[in-house]
Amino acid sequence: MKALGIDVSPALLKNWIDWLAPDVQPFFVTRQQATEWDLPVDDRQPTAEQRDTYRTYGVDSSAVLVSWLDEPAYLSLPKAIRARLVRAQVNHNRAAVPTVRRWQSVLGPELRRQADGHRFVWWKSLLHDSAEIVLPRIVSEDLGPSRHAEVVDWPSEPVRRLAGTFPSGSGPNCFGTVMAAAGVDGADEIWMLREPFERWLADATIAGGRDDVPGTVFVWRDTAHAVQHAAITIGTGWMLHKPSQSWMTPRKIRTVAEVRRATRTAGWRLHRRSLVR
C-alpha cells in the first residue's frame, strides 16, 4: 500500500488503524452536556497519537470535561444523544468527525444511522474491509506527495534514508528531521523542542545560504522571532521537510518552491542558514 507516494507496511497500517480509531476515544463536552446526556467522565490524558488524531490542542475551552467511550458504550446511547454528542464534537472543534457525504460511497449508506446522518466518528468496525482505502485518503488530506522517486543525486546517506518515510508515531517533527538529515543520530525519532534546535543552529550553521545547493537550512520565525518550522535543501531545487509532528505527516521530498508555498503563513518570515562543512 502507498500513501503520498510512500510505501506503507502492514505493521504501520495496523498502527494507523489504532491511531485513527482507538478502542476508546475522547468526546469533549461541557459540564451541562455531560449532565444532560448522563455521560461518564474522567481525567485520563490522551496519547500523543490521540492528541494529533483529534487535535486536542484546538478544542474549544468551554469543553472542560472528557467522556472516554468505546464503541459498545457509544452505540448504547440513545440515537438522539449520539447525534447531539457528535454534533457537539464539531462545535467544540474536535477533529476526526468526518462528513457522511464524503465517505458514504466507501462505507455504505448505513453510515447515516450512526449519529445525526451528517457526521460520524471512526471505529475499527468501519475499517475492517476499507482501511487500505480510508487511511491513504486521510493522511493525504491537504498534503502533496513526496517526490523522492524523482531525486537522482542524494547529498548524503542520512538524507536518502529519511526521504519518503513515515514516522513510527507522533512526536518526530521538522526540527529533528533537519538535524537528522545533517547527521545528528536519532534526532528524527524524537519531538525536538525549540531550545535544542536553536542550540544546534548556533553551533552547526552560519547565516545565509543558496536554494540550489545541499545543506541550506530554511528557518521560519514568527513576529516574536520564535522558530516555527524548518526544512533543508538537498540540491538541484529539492528540499526535505516534515510538515508537522503528527503520525500522519511523512518526511517528504518536495521542490523548494512547493515547500515555500505550503509554509506561507501570515506573520512568519523565512531565514536561511548553511551547514558548516
Given 75, 104, 139, the domain boundary residue is: 139
Q: How many domains does the chain have?
A: 2
* Adjacent-strand bridge partners of 274: 206, 216
Are 102 and 162 in a shared domain? no
162 shares its domain with 125: no
Encode pLDDT of 220-246 as tens digits: 999 999 999 999 999 999 999 999 999
User: Which pLDDT band, with edges at 50, 70 and 90, does 175 fall under?
Assistant: very high
CATH code for position 166: 3.90.1720
Tell me what the mean pLDDT of segment 130-137 comes to.
Answer: 96
Instruction: State the pLDDT at residue 3.
Output: 97
Three state DSSP letters for 164-193: CECCCCCCCCHHHHHHHHCCCCCHHHCCCC
Residues 103/61, Cβ–Cβ less than 8 Å: no
Contact 223, 156 (CB under 8 A): no
* Average pLDDT for 251-271: 97
110 and 168 inside one domain: no
Expressed as residue numbers, the domain containing 267 is 148-275
Whether residues 166 and 135 share a domain: the answer is no
Q: Which of 89, 117, 139 is the last residue of a domain?
A: 139
Identify the domain boundary among 139, 159, 180.
139
State the pLDDT confidence band at 87, using cuts at 50, 70 and 90.
very high
With 90 as the cut, is the pLDDT of residue 137 above it?
A: yes
In this prediction, residue 238 carries a pLDDT of 98
Whether 124 and 172 map to the same domain: the answer is no
Task: Let me know whether 101 and 158 are in one domain.
Answer: no
**pLDDT grade, residue 142 (50/70/90)?**
confident
Helices (H) and strands (E) in the chain, counts: 11, 10
Residues 134 and 210 both lie in one domain: no
Residues 79, 181, single domain; the answer is no
